[in-house]
């Protein structure tokens, strides 16, 4: 039984179909990358899992049980956290207030303290800026805060939408290194990313979505060697 299963998922925005019966699975402990161009359906897939948009057909299973009839806040309580594109932090709250607000699903105060300590060990800059307004952080620091907030929910599955967007190459490397560390510590990750090279380097498996359909899937190392992936995301090979 997979931790997450999307079975024949179809989503529409009015008369326009965004997802055409996609099927995806994520096993416990995996880091799975979902790749695709702008408008391919990547963010729609994550928003569907978080129950932020209605489903036309198909089903979503988490830990073997359908979550179609659950609300977004119930999804978080189940152990699914979502780091949206654009980060979605609260700019007028401090770093600490953002983190504390995200721990509402965790009732054990010792666990909250442990999670906070873990976040500060991974992102020491957040501890240095814990009393600073989140809106005054740099783009990279805001992304760290967005990931830290997800970790505060004590999630089993983290959904990440374009974590490298707007970051310098140096910060991109840092963020991806941290994501792998989080995954290695036991958190399952479904990563939506346009930076295919970086995403596949840290992933176990990957899916390529094109026009709302799964075009390719397989182990990350196989996708990195696939001619179609190379041409679409790494540039055409020189002859």
Supply the pLDDT for residue 232: 86
Q: If 0-12 CB within 10 Å is exposed, 13-18 middle and 19+ buried, where does residue 43 land?
A: buried
Task: Note whether 125 and 144 are within 8 A (CB).
Answer: yes
Distances (CA, A) of 111 to 6, 27, 70, 78: 31, 25, 25, 16
Question: 38 Cβ partners below 8 Å, 6+ apart?
Answer: 194
The two three-digit tokens of residue 20, written as one number: 């055409």
Any bridge partners for residue 158, and if so which? 81, 189
Task: Note whether 175 and 198 are within 8 A (CB).
Answer: no
Query: Which residue bears the tokens 């805001």?
Result: 142
Dist. CA 169–CA 74, nearest whole Å: 36
Supply the pLDDT for residue 238: 39
Supply the pLDDT for residue 235: 64
Q: β-pairing, 80-83 with 157-161?
A: parallel
Distance of CA 202 to the CA centre of its chain: 13
Dist. CA 78–CA 191, nearest whole Å: 19
Determine the longest span between alpha carbons in the chain, in angstroms.
Answer: 60
Supply the pLDDT for residue 237: 44
Q: Select from 90, 72, 70 the least CA-distant residue to 81.
A: 72
**Digits of tens for pLDDT over the chain (239 positions)?**
899 999 999 999 988 999 999 999 999 999 999 999 989 999 999 999 999 999 999 999 999 999 999 999 999 999 999 998 887 899 999 999 999 998 988 889 999 999 999 999 989 999 999 999 999 999 889 999 999 999 999 899 999 999 888 888 888 888 899 999 999 999 999 999 988 999 999 999 999 999 999 999 999 999 999 999 998 887 654 33
Dist. CA 7–CA 64, nearest whole Å: 12
Tell me, yes or no, if the pTM score tops 0.95: no
Domains present along the chain, CATH in parentheses: 1-79+156-169+188-234 (3.40.50.300), 88-154 (no CATH)
Q: What SS3 state is found at 4?
A: strand
Supply the pLDDT for residue 165: 85
Any bridge partners for residue 208, and if so which? 35, 216
Dist. CA 157–CA 72, nearest whole Å: 14
């Amino acid at each position: 039984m997979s931790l997450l299963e999307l079975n024949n998922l179809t989503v529409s925005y009015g008369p326009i179909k965004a997802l055409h019966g996609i099927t995806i699975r994520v096993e416990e402990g995996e880091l799975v990358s979902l790749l695709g161009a702008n408008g391919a359906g990547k963010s729609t897939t994550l928003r569907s899992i978080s129950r932020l948009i209605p489903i036309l057909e198909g089903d979503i299973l988490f830990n073997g049980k359908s979550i179609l009839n659950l609300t977004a806040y119930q999804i978080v309580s189940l152990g699914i956290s979502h780091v949206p594109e654009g980060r979605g932090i609260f700019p007028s709250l401090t770093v600490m207030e953002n983190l504390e607000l995200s721990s509402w699903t965790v009732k054990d105060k010792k666990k909250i303290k442990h999670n906070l300590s873990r976040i500060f060990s991974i992102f020491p800059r957040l501890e240095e800026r814990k009393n600073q307004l989140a809106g005054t952080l740099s783009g990279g620091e805001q992304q760290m805060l967005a990931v830290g907030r997800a970790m505060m929910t004590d999630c089993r599955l983290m959904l990440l939408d374009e974590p490298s967007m707007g970051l310098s190459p140096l910060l991109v490397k840092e963020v991806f290194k941290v994501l792998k560390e989080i995954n290695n510590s036991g958190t399952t990750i479904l990563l939506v990313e346009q930076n295919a090279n970086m995403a596949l380097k840290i992933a176990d498996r990957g899916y390529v979505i094109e026009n709302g359909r799964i075009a390719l899937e397989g182990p990350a190392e196989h996708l990195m060697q696939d001619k179609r992936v190379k041409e679409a995301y790494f540039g055409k090979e020189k002859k």
